[in-house]
Amino acid sequence: MTEFKKDVRRNYWFSLGVFILILIIISIMFINIKKKSRVDVFVRDMNADLVFIKDSIFQGLQKGDYTIVDSLLRGWAKLHRENILELKLIASNGFIISQYSNKEESTEFIENSIDIEYSYNKKATLNVKYSLTLINKEMINDFIFVSVLLFLVSFVLIYITRILVKRSNILFVLEKQAVELRKLSSSVEQSPSSIVITDLKGNIEFVNPKFSHVTGYSFEESVGQNPRILKTEKLSQDDYKNLWDTILRGEIWRGEFYNKKKNGEFYWEDATIGPIKDESGSITNFIAIKTDITKEKKISEELEKYQKGLEILVKERTREIEETAFDMKENQQALMYLVEDANESREELENLNKKMNRSLKKVENSKDQIDGILKSMADGLIVTDFDEKVILVNHIAEEIFSINAKDLIGKSVDSFINDKELLEKFKISFADSETGHNFDFKITSNNVNLSRIYNARVSAIWDKNGVVTGLITTLRDVTTEREIDRMKTEFISTSAHELRTPLTSIKGFSEILITRKDLKKKDREKFMEYIYKQSERLGNLINDLLDVSKIEAGQGFILKKKKCNAGEILESALSSFKEISKNHTFRIEISDNPGELYIDKDLILQALSNLLSNAVKYSPEGCEILISGDISMGNYVISVYDEGIGMTKDQIDNIFEKFYRADASNTAIEGTGLGMAIVKNIVESHGGEIRVESEFGKWTLVTFTIPLIEEKGN
Amino acid sequence: MKKILIVDDQVEIRDLVEITLRVSDYNIFKASNGEEAIEIAEKENPDLIIMDIMMPGKLDGMEAARILKNSDKTKESIIIFLTAKGHKIDIKEGKDVGAAGYFVKPFSPLELINKVEESLRT
């Protein structure tokens, strides 16, 4: 036994290694037991504190001490006192092991599993349950048995070893060395530095993973190689000699290598190389511990570069500052000259100011003048700026829109044009102002006769540079013009119809006369008479049109005056009319006073004929038409009266307008709408007057006067 | 004997059309406005109506034609317009009403009789 003890002491490391080995085997067994023993932990709450408890519970379980579990849980429960209502350790058979609550209970316990149950209070109460299945007690017994067995085996093994050592001491020493190396290697495996172990010749026996990582040479590739594979020209031959001399002397060398990786990349290494000695002190191996310092090298190189750059910059700035100081001195001088100049300029400016004030006054005066002109224009005027805000509204425009200019200045046209459609028209023409857009609009009134039509024309105001600065809108009353336009259009369609009717008869009957040879003589004569009458009617129509165009042109009639008797004229007009209109009765009333007139007989007959024709056209068949003549206040007064459809006041007001027809919709009643205009013109050209009176649906009376010849002693 | 109704407010035109049609034996009726035309048409059921458009009274020729064409009693009557209204839009309206022909004044009696005979044959 003393020999054995001695051996064990001698081979301390060896025996410790065996012991650790056995411990590892026991641990593996324990882990296996643990796996078999199915320890489940259900954590339903992911609270970090509970994780801590879980680990602690294992510790407790490993020790087989449930009081640790209990106390840890209690400790945790106290920490969360506010939220924990109740905490229980419950065995799987339902037995309560311990309880954290107001009243505490302790129980005897020997069971295979426990539950931990606690109530967690956060407004609502949560129940979280932990279920742990503990190691079977028999298993632990088995475990202890196996452990003891293993320990015995280990001792037996050590004993056997001792015998082996005794038999071959050299073998024992070698084994001891192998163990040492293995241990060392395990520590160098993890090293953050590259570690290389060579034999005395420098051939690599071992490299750690870091070495492979740095250089790219794997363990297999490195072993047997010389570290020369990494060599570059950076380190001189002398440096290498120095290295070898140092380490062969058994001392440690320290220095930097500039090496090459397997992929050709270069890197800096800080290396410590030293010998490994055996017990006798003789060198067995060399070990190199190396750190990659490429990054640090680069950083220091760059720093040096920056430092140099900075020095240059500082020199440059210093020079610039010196130059600027010199410039500033010069500028000061220049400023002084400028101040002198400015004093002179001020006087000039004052003079200019005076001149400008004078000009401004002139401008104001002319502005007033222009304002005055614009305001007194006959047309309505609205001036707006480029934002369509009102700048000026003249009196007429005020009246048109029933507005007050003062309230509108600076406001948009929206503020006084209520009619959406009209506003839209304004907006469109504002947008189109450059082309001088214009449009008609109507301002309606309750009284139809007071409704007016205006033509708005928008044009742009240009400044000197050709930029539009505003808009001028002129509003012209075109009611009369538009009415005349309308009448003209109506006249054209009416006269076309009027001209067509006689033409139809003329064309039709003449065609029949030409093509039909079998017509009776009586029919032939009748047709020819039709043709004659209709051509006469055509002629009259054309005369009317000519008369009107003369009136239009302002030429009027050229009178061929002769002395005439008024009575004779009336008789003559009536007799020719009786022939034409056989469906009406005519009556004539002439005073005994002979009216001597100095007139153009044909024209007066034309006027009378027009009046009679109207009376016939606008009164039903069978009615009586009265024509009368009398002298009154130096005039001969002629009147035509019928009991026909009559006229409204509106119609009477328009009766003398050219192209006006009392009932334009009734196109069947022939007429050009020129008759009364012609009559009025004829009467007025003779110095007379004409008047129309009527009652709608009942009667119409047209009266005109012709001045009598002044009797000069005749 | 075929019946023909002539509608025109002017006596000369009525006469002219009547004389134009005298080449064949027709039973001819005459009306001077729309209302009268409808009255006669309903009573006599004419084979053909020659209709003016612009006539005095409540119904013009176009309206009268429309009424006649919409009435079961008179819709078979052929209508030919004879009018001073010569715009394309008027002619289109006439065709739309269902007229077989449209003559603008002044018209040719020969052409009218040809159209009348042709219409009555089919």
**Rounded to a whole number, what is the distance in Å from the CA of B90 to chain A's nearest CA?**
13
| pLDDT for A52 | 43
Give residues 660 to 699 of A whose Cβ lies within 8 Å of B: 666-669
A198 and A136 inside one domain: no
Helix H or strand E encompassing A550:
helix A521-552
| Average pLDDT, integer, range A262-278 | 85
CA atoms within 13 A on the CB side of A509: 24
Residue A122 has pLDDT above 50, yes or no: no
A150 and A195 inside one domain: no
Residue A35 has pLDDT above 60, yes or no: no
Parent domain of B27: 3-121
Residue A668 has pLDDT above 70, yes or no: no
| pLDDT for A46 | 35
The separation between CA A514 and the C-alpha centre of its own chain, rounded to angstroms, equals: 81
Contact assignment for B105 to A500 by CB distance below 8 Å: yes
- Test the A interface: residue of B83, B105, B107 with most A CBs within 10 Å: B105
Contact assignment for B108 to A501 by CB distance below 8 Å: no
More confident residue, A142 or A56: A142
**Rounded to a whole number, what is the distance in Å from the CA of A527 to chain B's nearest CA?**
9
**Rounded to a whole number, what is the distance in Å from the CA of A670 to chain B's nearest CA?**
11
Give residues 457 to 496 of A whose Cβ lies within 8 Å of B: 496
More confident residue, A40 or A521: A521
| pLDDT for A96 | 62
- Tell me the CATH number at B58: 3.40.50.2300
With beta carbons under 8 A apart, name residues in chain A contacting B19: 509, 512, 523, 527
**Rounded to a whole number, what is the distance in Å from the CA of B1 to chain A's nearest CA?**
22
Here the tokens at position A587 are 């009556």
- Tell me the CATH number at A381: 3.30.450.20
CA nearest neighbour of A44 among A133, A131, A134: A131
Here the tokens at position B31 are 């009306």
Contact assignment for A503 to B12 by CB distance below 8 Å: no
| Average pLDDT, integer, range A626-636 | 89
Burial class (CB in 10 A: 0-12, 13-18, 19+), B5: buried
Of the spans A37-46, A414-423, A665-674, B81-90, which averages the highest pLDDT? B81-90
Q: pLDDT tens digit string along A572-608?
A: 888 877 777 778 888 888 887 777 888 998 889 989 9
Residue A690 has pLDDT above 90, yes or no: yes
Contact assignment for B84 to A501 by CB distance below 8 Å: yes
Burial class (CB in 10 A: 0-12, 13-18, 19+), A272: middle
Between CA A236 and CA A218 the distance in angstroms is 27
Q: Where are the alpha helices (DSSP H) in A378-516?
A: 395-401, 405-408, 420-431, 479-515
Residue B102 has pLDDT above 70, yes or no: yes
Is residue A549 included in any domain, yes or no? no
Residue A513 has pLDDT above 60, yes or no: yes
Residue A49 has pLDDT above 50, yes or no: no
**Rounded to a whole number, what is the distance in Å from the CA of A505 to chain B's nearest CA?**
6
With beta carbons under 8 A apart, name residues in chain A contacting B108: 507-508, 511
Helix H or strand E encompassing A371:
helix A294-375
A568 and A652 inside one domain: yes
CA nearest neighbour of B34 among B72, B69, B8: B8
Boundary residue ending a domain (A235, A262, A292)? A292
> Cα dihedral angle (B41, B43, B44, B46), rounded to 10 degrees?
20
- Residue A308 makes CB contacts below 8 A (sequence gap 6+) with none
A144 and A230 inside one domain: no
Contact assignment for B16 to A668 by CB distance below 8 Å: no
Is residue A315 included in any domain, yes or no? no
Helix (H, G, I), strand (E, B) or coil at B110: helix
Lowest-pLDDT range, A45-54, A281-290, A459-468, A671-680? A45-54
Residue A557 has pLDDT above 50, yes or no: yes
Domain count, chain A: 4
User: CA torsion sign, A148 to A150 to A153 to A154?
Assistant: negative
| pLDDT for A54 | 53
A146 and A207 inside one domain: no
For residues A613 and A580, is the Cβ–Cβ distance under 8 A? Answer: no
Of the spans A151-160, A283-292, A640-649, B38-47, which averages the highest pLDDT? B38-47
Contact assignment for A668 to B109 by CB distance below 8 Å: no
Model confidence at B77, in pLDDT bands (50, 70, 90)? very high
Residue A260 has pLDDT above 80, yes or no: yes
Here the tokens at position A56 are 């602690």
Helix (H, G, I), strand (E, B) or coil at A503: helix
Is residue A327 included in any domain, yes or no? no
DSSP code for A102: S
Helix A521-552 and helix A675-685: axis angle, to 10°? 60
With beta carbons under 8 A apart, name residues in chain A contacting B13: 501, 504-505, 508
| pLDDT for A32 | 63
A561 and A679 inside one domain: yes
Residue B58 has pLDDT above 90, yes or no: no
Contact assignment for B109 to A527 by CB distance below 8 Å: no
With beta carbons under 8 A apart, name residues in chain A contacting B109: 508, 511-512, 515
Residue A244 has pLDDT above 80, yes or no: yes
Between CA A563 and CA A594 the distance in angstroms is 13
Here the tokens at position A684 are 């007025």
Burial class (CB in 10 A: 0-12, 13-18, 19+), A148: exposed
Here the tokens at position A21 are 């080995």
Residue A104 amino acid letter: E
With beta carbons under 8 A apart, name residues in chain A contacting B54: 497, 667-668
Residue A500 amino acid letter: R
More confident residue, A714 or A204: A204
Contact assignment for B106 to A667 by CB distance below 8 Å: no
Here the tokens at position B6 are 């002539």
**Rounded to a whole number, what is the distance in Å from the CA of B116 to chain A's nearest CA?**
16
A95 and A225 inside one domain: no
A275 and A401 inside one domain: no
Q: Which residue of B has its CA nearest to A497?
A: B84
| pLDDT for B101 | 93
Of the spans A66-80, A507-521, A645-659, which averages the highest pLDDT? A507-521
With beta carbons under 8 A apart, name residues in chain B contacting A505: 12-13, 16
Parent domain of A570: 555-707
| pLDDT for A104 | 44
Lowest-pLDDT range, A187-191, A530-534, A601-605, B4-8? A187-191
| Average pLDDT, integer, range A358-367 | 84
Between CA A31 and CA A636 the distance in angstroms is 151
Contact assignment for B106 to A503 by CB distance below 8 Å: yes
Q: pLDDT tens digit string along A77-86?
A: 666 666 555 6
Q: Which residue of A has its CA nearest to B87?
A: A493
With beta carbons under 8 A apart, name residues in chain B contacting A527: 19
For residues A254 and A157, is the Cβ–Cβ distance under 8 A? Answer: no
Chain B interface, Cβ < 8 Å to A:
9-10, 12-13, 15-16, 19-20, 54-57, 84-85, 105-110
Residue B47 has pLDDT above 90, yes or no: yes
| Average pLDDT, integer, range A229-253 | 81
**Rounded to a whole number, what is the distance in Å from the CA of A502 to chain B's nearest CA?**
9
Model confidence at A39, in pLDDT bands (50, 70, 90)? very low
A50 and A149 inside one domain: yes
- Residue A288 makes CB contacts below 8 A (sequence gap 6+) with A194, A195, A196, A197, A198, A227, A271, A272, A273
Q: Where are the alpha helices (DSSP H) in chain B?
A: 11-21, 34-44, 61-70, 88-97, 109-121
| pLDDT for B46 | 94
A563 and A701 inside one domain: yes
| pLDDT for A45 | 41
Tell the residue number behind the tokens 């290694």, with chain if given.
A17
- Tell me the CATH number at A632: 3.30.565.10
Q: A84-91 and A452-462: which strand pairing?
A: unpaired
Contact assignment for B16 to A506 by CB distance below 8 Å: no
| pLDDT for A110 | 39
With beta carbons under 8 A apart, name residues in chain A contacting B20: 508, 512
| pLDDT for B62 | 93
Q: pLDDT tens digit string along A90-102?
A: 555 555 666 665 4
Residue A527 has pLDDT above 80, yes or no: yes
A559 and A702 inside one domain: yes
Q: pLDDT tens digit string along A298-342?
A: 888 888 888 888 788 888 888 887 888 788 878 888 888 877 787
- Residue A337 makes CB contacts below 8 A (sequence gap 6+) with none
Tell the residue number behind the tokens 């006369």, with chain if given.
A513
Helix H or strand E encompassing A114:
strand A113-122
Residue A448 has pLDDT above 50, yes or no: yes
Question: Who among A496, A508, A669 is closest to B56 (CB)?
Answer: A669
A136 and A249 inside one domain: no
| pLDDT for A554 | 64
Helix (H, G, I), strand (E, B) or coil at A393: strand
Residue B66 has pLDDT above 90, yes or no: yes
Is residue A545 included in any domain, yes or no? no
Greatest Cα-to-Cα distance within chain B, rounded to the nearest angstrom: 35
Residue % of chain A over a pLDDT of 90: 5
What does pLDDT average to over chain A? 76
- Residue A524 makes CB contacts below 8 A (sequence gap 6+) with A513
Between CA A147 and CA B16 the distance in angstroms is 147
Residue A4 has pLDDT above 50, yes or no: no
Domain count, chain B: 1
